[in-house]
């Protein structure tokens, strides 16, 4: 019998045998765990060098984005325009935006090369003429590139704010002659130099580009010269498609994955597109296999929990580790994605008792840590939310796969897993940092 002070875990805890696809849990009120490492739209926008963000919104809604900029020490690249009640009653939303932007530009001690102007829900409710606003601003300030960005959580069921922000991040790239280069699009972290992706591009004699490489706006504009736009994160697919349509860059979606066969397929596709011979991957595969064996040996007697913020393919990673004899006991994910269907079916058959838990279900904020996933004994978490919910101090601080990719990515991850077993981490001091790895 469950004590009155302990909420019923039904609805917040299931197993692979019972988990539905793609939604193992129903939609309801949402809980925000204090694991704050995942980036929001402010962090993503800060990747554009020499840019200024301006958020136009009601003061109550501005609180979160203002704190984000302050916490990352980037208030010099961030401004706000507060929408008040009289702006709605008087219908002067367009003039509020125009006058606000003019005033901000006039008072800045520098001239930004680009301005990311964020409209909010209220602009779309009231039918604000945003096209007119941007047309006027571009005419008045031809030396500044303006792009439309959105803080509109009401629209997240159509295009997710994260995907939309990654799309707009490249919207100020100018038309340029192509030089055959390859751009990594929509990834927040730089690729490891040893990454299979980087190695193949460089072996082809082409330039590899990523927004994380640039600290000035002119350098950022070099990305427009690339002939190919590669995406590895599902949230970046819209970005790649947009660049293909707007700048003529051929979009290749080569998602981060953990199955050896799928990795080979993606690398062979890249080689084919770049018109180079497919290398012998056997050495890379053997090295990855050896790294997995070493990780499995180190993890004897340990349990592993994985969350979706660590990788876009948590089910695929769980399958890879289980195939090596590593005891994965919990997955934290609110939904599954179509590319993981094969891994989902495999896990249902081979790991039916593995726990599946949401991260936003309201009960997750009330369940004791034991009910939220910690079985007891030694537990390694991969991802901040898994570390928070399980209560373990042994974890791999990984977001969006980090800079890992391909067989080399598996090797790097195995090394990080082994290192994580050697020393406890101060979880609260790490997971409370908003936008881990982002700097202003």
pLDDT tens column, 269-282: 999 999 999 999 99
Residue among 248, 247, 266 nearest 257 (CA): 266
For strand 145-151 and strand 182-184, is the pairing parallel, antiparallel, or unpaired?
A: unpaired
At 375, is the pLDDT very low, low, confident or very high (cuts 50, 70, 90)? very low
Chain-centre distance of CA 273, in angstroms?
A: 26
Q: Kindly state the average pLDDT of the residues 25-35.
A: 86
More confident site: 362 or 1: 362
| Whole-number pLDDT of residue 3 | 39
Q: What is the mean pLDDT of the chain?
A: 92
Q: What long-range pairs does 125-131 form, CB within 8 A, spacing at least 24?
A: 126/88, 126/91, 126/93, 128/93, 128/94, 128/97, 129/94
Whether the predicted pLDDT of 157 surpasses 50: yes
Q: How confident is the model at residue 369, as a pLDDT?
A: 62
At 417 the pLDDT is 98
Average pLDDT over residues 98-103: 97
For residue 152, is pLDDT > 90? no
Enclosing H/E stretch for 138: helix 130-140
pLDDT for 421 equals 95
Confidence at 247, pLDDT banded by 50, 70, 90: very high
340 pLDDT exceeds 80? Answer: yes
Map out the domains of the chain with their CATH numbers. Answer: 14-33+282-431 (no CATH), 49-168 (3.40.50.1980), 182-273 (3.40.50.1980)
The structure's pTM equals 0.92
Residue 156 pLDDT > 90: no
């Amino acid at each position: 019998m469950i004590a009155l002070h302990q909420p019923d875990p039904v609805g917040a805890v299931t197993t692979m045998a019972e988990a539905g696809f793609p939604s193992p849990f129903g939609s309801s009120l949402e809980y925000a765990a204090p694991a704050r490492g995942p980036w929001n739209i402010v962090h993503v926008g800060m990747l554009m060098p020499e840019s200024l963000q301006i958020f136009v919104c009601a003061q109550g809604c501005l609180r979160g984005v203002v704190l984000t900029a302050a916490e990352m020490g980037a208030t010099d690249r961030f401004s706000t325009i507060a929408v008040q009640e009289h702006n709605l009653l008087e219908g002067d939303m367009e003039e509020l935006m125009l006058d606000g932007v003019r005033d901000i530009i006039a008072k800045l001690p520098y001239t930004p090369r680009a301005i990311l102007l964020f409209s909010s829900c209220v602009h779309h409710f009231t039918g604000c003429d945003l096209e007119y606003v941007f047309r006027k601003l571009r005419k008045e300030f031809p030396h500044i590139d303006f792009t439309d960005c959105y803080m509109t959580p009401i629209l997240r069921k159509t295009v997710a704010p994260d995907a939309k922000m990654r799309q707009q991040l490249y919207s100020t790239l100018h038309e340029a002659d192509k030089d055959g280069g390859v751009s990594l699009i929509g990834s927040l972290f730089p690729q490891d130099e040893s990454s299979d992706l980087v190695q193949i591009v460089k072996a082809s004699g082409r330039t590899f580009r990523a927004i994380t490489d640039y600290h000035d706006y002119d350098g950022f504009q070099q990305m427009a010269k690339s002939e190919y736009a590669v995406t590895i994160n599902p949230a970046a697919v819209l970005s790649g498609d947009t660049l293909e349509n707007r700048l003529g860059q051929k979009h290749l979606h080569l998602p981060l994955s953990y199955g050896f066969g799928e990795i080979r397929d993606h690398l062979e596709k890249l080689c084919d597109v770049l018109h180079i011979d497919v290398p012998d991957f056997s050495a890379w595969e053997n090295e990855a296999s050896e790294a997995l064996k070493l990780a499995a040996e180190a993890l004897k007697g340990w349990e592993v929990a994985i969350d979706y913020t660590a990788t876009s393919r948590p089910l695929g990673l769980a399958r890879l580790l289980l195939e090596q004899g590593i005891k994965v006991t919990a997955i934290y994910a609110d939904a599954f994605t179509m590319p993981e269907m094969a891994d989902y079916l495999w896990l249902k058959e081979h790991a039916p008792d593995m726990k599946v838990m949401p991260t936003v279900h309201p009960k997750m904020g009330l369940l004791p840590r034991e009910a939220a996933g910690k079985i007891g004994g030694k537990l390694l978490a991969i991802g901040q939310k898994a570390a928070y919910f399980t209560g373990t101090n042994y974890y791999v601080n990984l977001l969006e796969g980090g800079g890992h990719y391909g067989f080399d990515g598996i090797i790097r991850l195995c090394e990080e897993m082994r290192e994580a077993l050697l020393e406890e981490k101060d979880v609260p001091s790490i997971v409370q940092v908003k936008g881990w790895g982002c700097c202003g």
